[in-house]
A and B are shown apart, each in its own frame.
Chain A
Amino acid sequence: MATQRQSSVISLIFIYCAISSTSSSQQCSDKIDQNIVPAISSLLQHRRNITGEGSHRNLITSIKLLLQSESQFNELVIVERLPLGVFADPFELQSLQQRKVFSDVSVFGDTNLELPSFRSNRSVVEIHVDMSSRDYEHGEISLKLPLHARYQPLHDSGYSRVEFGEPDLFLCSSHLPNQGHEQRRCLVLSIGGLKTEAISVFWDIPAGIRDHTEYVSAFTFAAAVLSAFSILVVSVLSSKVESCKNSKQS
């Protein structure tokens, strides 16, 4: 049901994007800061996996990233564009944030947890991980995003396949609030939409089978009618029996 994918990307030169965060605007500069690039050059490995069983699973993203100790870029940001058939529970993610699993997490898009996939829209999850406070061996961080399956469109095989694309990965500098004109710098490590590898992570979710429709409907109504009729007959007979008893006694 799930496949494991491993890829290696060696990045020596990064696209440097300075993102200035103010209360009302963002700017992007394509100026490359030579002081930044050596501090963050690293071997980046990126693995993806779906673990667990049933309708509630975890999307595991393992990232190998070696940082130099004086690097100011200590926050990893992952933007996960979820496919249509699954959703992340914002309240569950909030509780993970409260338990310090993530430093920040947000869900955008369709957060209705109850609709089937053919009545819902896609959602995006943005996760922030403070790397300076995390213990990780050999520069590897493993992130577990809990996901839940929506009810799928009907499928003849009885299963519907949901495929996951690649996340967008950023490395950002520390967020410094209350310092007037805030400056945050982020490096784009990976853009999911640009990936062209054929192998992807997927999840086969049970789906209703269209061929069942007619006889399920027929038997459902038959069962309801039969049960209702049984209760009706017993009720009328019981009340008649009580009525006869009382007539005899009086």
Chain B
Amino acid sequence: MSRGSEKTDESPKWMNFRSLLVFSMFLRVFLIIYGEWQDAHMEVRYTDVDYMVFSDAASLMASGESPYKRTTYRYSPLLAFILIPNSIIHRSWGKFLFSASDLLVGWFIHKILKQRNVPEKICTYSVMVWLFNPFTFTIGTRGNCEPLVCAMVLWIIISLMKGNLSQAAFWYGLVVHFRVYPIIYALPIILVLDSQIFRSGQKPPLEDWNTGKAKTTTSNTEKKPLHFNLLTALKSLFSRERIMFALISGGVFLACNAISFYFYGHEFLHEALLYHLTRTDPRHNFSIYFYHIYLHYERQFSAVEKLISFLPQFTVQFALVFCFYQDLVFCIFLQTVAFVAFNKVITAQYFVWFYCLLPLILPWSRMKLKWEGLLCIIIWIGAQTHWLLWGYMLEFKGVNVFLKLWMASLLFLAANTFVLVKIIQRHQFSPLFRRFRSLSPKM
């Protein structure tokens, strides 16, 4: 989405945001109805197996039992609670809910970009990257709950942009209870809550798209070095805004866990929280660690081995945060891609976590679709496809291709690294917020 090729808003009328949203809505409704037909008439089901797990857990909860009696239900009881209507109204209730969240993500993307004065045409293209991504519109209609998490994450960004810290903190505590992985956003959010940016009763000034374009000539924004200043951070570490955010989000997180523990005890703790923190799966998945874990599964890993395997993830997360936290949306996008790439277990549904953030960084990317963008897409999808071919040979043909499958996962990590590096190199750094003291342009 290079600024160099930007034209005035001359997109066709059919391509306005409202019509795209309406079309997307009808597409999702159609897919949900089609999914019901396929489930009833074909051996291969359209519905995700996870949706059956959620529905069974919701049904157990509706009968007054623990949702954790359903094996492999490893989510917050909140998810089962909101799916109780599956047993009362219709089994597709959850799919409609997740697809509505999916559309909400599209709306939030548009809202965030408009708040930063991104031209309408670029906004529309960015939204289309989410709404018409085949992966995203099938994931909600198949009954996967990730669009709900994505909507919450984007709402947190919107709340921060409005200066509504309490609201952002509330939803942050809730989303971490719901899905754990957003805990990685804690540090950049805390760092960006600068008292020079967030002041009581005032909406924080946003760095908009046009200002970023003007930065190549004059700049009235951040004059400080963009890399992390340790001394300054230490001085303002315990600002009122940071303490408030931490207390509210932490309080909400603990309250949700306490209520869940009250009703479901250790089952909740183990299945919904500890399982995700300690999960190692020897079964084949995209992660480079799967075969290493399988070969060592007959014996337990030592604490040192676990720590060593966590170091690359830890290092990358900290590097990305300290280099890019001011450009908050870009930072959390990079963190999410890296988190998934270096995780011990990678399944395709995790990709949605960064798909929803990708449209938010595209307007600031100097990468052109032809041909650099296409190259990145081809390399990333190609590496996935390569892995899937070996996975098919193992799982559906019963051929021992463990070594080749593991090599394919190494290749997938290389592809992720390549794409990440390219995105960083082509990004026009633009802090999300401006400091109050630098608002007046120099004459």
Contacts and interface: CB of A to CB of B under 8 A. Distances in A.
A116 B284 CA distance: 12
B217 interface: yes
A113 B71 CA distance: 9
A114 B281 contact: yes
A60 B305 CA distance: 45
A118 to B, nearest CB: 6
A232 B296 CA distance: 29
A205 interface: yes
Interface class of chain B by DSSP:
helix
A225 B310 CA distance: 10
Interface string B303-334: 00000110111011001100110000000001
Interface size grouping (class) on chain B: 35 or more
A56 B44 CA distance: 13
B362 to A, nearest CB: 17
Nearest to B318: A232
Contacts of A234: 421, 424-425
Given A212-B295, A227-B413, A206 B402 contact: yes
A247 interface: yes
Nearest to B215: A249
Interface in A173-207: 204-207
Contact of B400 (A159, A227, A246): A159
B323 A235 contact: yes
B183 interface: no
A221 B294 contact: no
Contact of B295 (A217, A225, A227): A217
Interface in B22-51: none
Given A151-B283, A224-B342, A243-B225, A249 B217 contact: yes
Contacts of B72: 113-114
Interface stretch (B124-132, B159-167, B198-206, B391-399): B391-399
B342 A228 contact: yes
A56 B396 contact: yes
A243 B226 contact: yes
Contacts of A113: 71-72
Contact of B323 (A91, A224, A225, A236): A236
A242 interface: yes
A54 B71 contact: no
Contacts of A165: none
Contact of A212 (B225, B403, B427): B403
Interface string B395-433: 111111111001000100110110011001101010000
Given A91-B56, A231-B320, A246-B215, 16 more contacts: A53-B397, A54-B396, A113-B72, A154-B298, A158-B400, A206-B399, A209-B403, A212-B295, A213-B296, A216-B292, A227-B342, A228-B313, A228-B316, A234-B424, A236-B323, A246-B219
5 contacts: A113-B72, A228-B311, A236-B319, A250-B219, A250-B223
